[in-house]
Amino acid sequence: MIRAFAYRAAVVAILAAVASPALAATAEEDPVVAKVDGVEIHRSQALEVRRRLPPQMQQVPDQLIMPVLTNIVIDTKLVAAEARRQDLQSDPEVREQMAKLEDLVLEQVLLTRIVEKSLTDEALKKRYQELVEKTKGEEEIHARHILVKTKDEANAVIAELNKGADFAELAKKKSIGPSASKGGDLGFFAKGEMVPAFSDAAFALKDGAITEEPVQTQFGWHVIKVEGRRPKQPPTFEEVSDQLRGELAREARTAYVGELRDKATIERFGDAKPPASEAEQPAKE
């Protein structure tokens, strides 16, 4: 499944890289960077090739990588033109492959347009308000911790604290966690933001209290102190806007494809049938 999605994405990227420049771009925004036998290559076409390159190459500034990208498009144009001169577009194998690519491109374009219609300002604001409402009544605590390797070490830390040792200073000396330099300060966090054992122990403490027994997690043994509490603060719209857009886009695609499935007659045969143990579905959907 993962490979199939990767293949689809690569195909669309490749086609976009050698296709016409962005429709909305003006000549000034999308200038011609090369010509091959009179056929124009626009800057947007060269930049699209970047998607096919390794991640480290994608970080190279445009002005440095543009000659490389342009050469890739030039080579594609040259080879494709020669293939047409050889009438390869009429080859049965080529026609079969082009039909598959056409399906993928049509899918991509249609779903992109469906998603764009769903990503309205009103929909985003409504989803953000739903997120804000979910945070109402939730609580965050401000806590510190001292992380050590063994239970004996943790008990020794608790003994020192009971004798009056300063928690933050002891954390700097004893803790092996990344927050040691900050006196074990973890800042504010909600209940589901820490591993269960740690979260349950921390939220069970009163303000200013320290765990009487060490708390074990996969990271080691913790001694926890709760500094205070406050109502959970919802993130700003700017902080979660990309996340909300992603959620709405996925929902729009899923809903649209679901509607198409409901209207269609879909039959599965052989290995394509879902396992009976997973879902008691008939071969026909």
pLDDT in tens, 14-39: 444 444 434 445 556 889 999 999 99
Domain contains 15: yes
Model's pTM, two decimal places? 0.57
Domain contains 13: yes
18 burial class (0-12, 13-18, 19+ CB within 10 angstroms)? middle
Minimal CA–CA distance to 235: which of 142, 141, 127?
127
Judgement on whether residues 220 and 148 belong to the same structural domain of the protein: yes
Minimal CA–CA distance to 165: which of 151, 144, 195?
144
Strands (E), the chain: 32-36, 39-42, 139-148, 185-190, 215-217, 220-231
Phi-psi region of 227 (alpha: psi -120 to 50; beta: other; left: phi over 0): alpha
Domain contains 238: no
Judgement on whether residues 221 and 254 belong to the same structural domain of the protein: no
pLDDT of residue 58: 82
Q: What is the pLDDT of residues 116-152, one digit of tens each?
A: 999 999 999 999 999 999 888 889 999 999 999 999 9
Judgement on whether residues 130 and 225 belong to the same structural domain of the protein: no
Sorted by sequence, the CB contacts under 8 Å of residue 171 that are 6+ apart come out as: 144, 145, 146, 179, 180, 183, 184
- Coil, helix or strand at residue 199: helix
With beta carbons less than 8 A apart as the criterion, state whether 195 and 136 touch.
no
Judgement on whether residues 257 and 202 belong to the same structural domain of the protein: no
Q: In total, how many domains does the chain have? A: 3
Q: How far apart are CA 237 and CA 156, in angstroms?
A: 45
Judgement on whether residues 133 and 143 belong to the same structural domain of the protein: no
Both tokens of 51, joined, read 């998607």
Judgement on whether residues 155 and 212 belong to the same structural domain of the protein: yes
Q: Any idea what the CATH number is for the domain that residue 202 is in?
A: 3.10.50.40
pLDDT of residue 61: 86
DSSP 204: T
User: Please, which residues bridge with residue 228 across strands?
Assistant: 142
Judgement on whether residues 80 and 97 belong to the same structural domain of the protein: yes
Domain contains 225: yes
Pick from 191, 209, 231: which residue ends a domain?
231
pLDDT of residue 54: 86
Domain contains 24: yes
Judgement on whether residues 217 and 180 belong to the same structural domain of the protein: yes
Q: What is the mean pLDDT of each run of 10 residues along the chain (285 residues)?
A: 43 45 56 92 90 84 88 94 95 94 94 94 94 88 97 97 96 96 96 94 96 96 97 91 95 96 92 68 43
- The helix/strand count (H/E) of the chain reads as 10, 6
Judgement on whether residues 204 and 214 belong to the same structural domain of the protein: yes
pLDDT of residue 28: 67
Domain that holds residue 282: 122-137+243-285
Judgement on whether residues 172 and 126 belong to the same structural domain of the protein: no
Edge-to-edge strand ranges of the sheet holding 215-217: 185-190, 139-148, 220-231, 215-217
Judgement on whether residues 128 and 147 belong to the same structural domain of the protein: no
Pick from 89, 118, 147: which residue ends a domain?
118
Judgement on whether residues 7 and 88 belong to the same structural domain of the protein: yes
Q: How far apart are CA 191 and CA 280, in angstroms?
A: 37
Q: How far apart are CA 231 and CA 139, in angstroms?
A: 5
